[in-house]
Amino acid sequence: MIEQGWCGIWIEGSEAGGRAAEVCAEPIREGRLKIVQALATVDNINRLLDTAGVPDRIDFLSLDIDYNGTRVWIALQRKCRLGCIEYNASLPPSLDLAAPYDPARAWDGTRWFGGGSRHWS
C-alpha cells in the first residue's frame, strides 16, 4: 500500500526501527510513513495510536505481532475498513483457542502463538 502513495504509521518493536527503516527509507524521507519504535501491547496500543495521530477509523490495518497479535487485536479501540491480520493456521478452525497473553514474550519458532481463525471473530 505504501508503494501506491498511501501514508501510514508502523509500530516496530525492534531497536532503531528494525528492517522497516531500511526497506521503507523513501516513504519515511517523503513523510508518508512514520515509524514508532515501541513494543505494542494490550495496555499501550491505543495510546500509541492516539499519540501518532491515528484516527478512530483506519482505512487499512496490517497486524503482525507474532505471539500476542490476537490479544492486541481484541484490545484495539479502532474501526478498520480492511484488515490483514496474522493468525495461527496450525490451530484447527473449530477451536476458539489463543496463546495466553504475555507482553514480554516473542514468537519462539514453535507453532504455539497467536490464535486460530475462529478466535478473531
Whether residue 47 lies inside any domain: the answer is no
**Full pLDDT tens readout for the chain, 121 residues:** 777 888 899 898 877 667 778 888 899 999 999 989 899 999 999 999 999 999 999 999 988 887 888 889 889 999 999 988 887 888 877 778 888 888 888 888 888 888 876 555 4
- Length of the chain measured in residues: 121
Whether residue 14 lies inside any domain: the answer is no
Whether residue 63 lies inside any domain: the answer is yes
d(CA 95, CA 115): 9
Closest-CA residue to 95 (of 120, 67, 73, 77): 120
Domain that holds residue 114: 57-121
- Read off the pTM: 0.82
Q: Which residues 6+ apart lie within 8 Å of 50 measured at CB? A: none
The domain total for the chain is 1
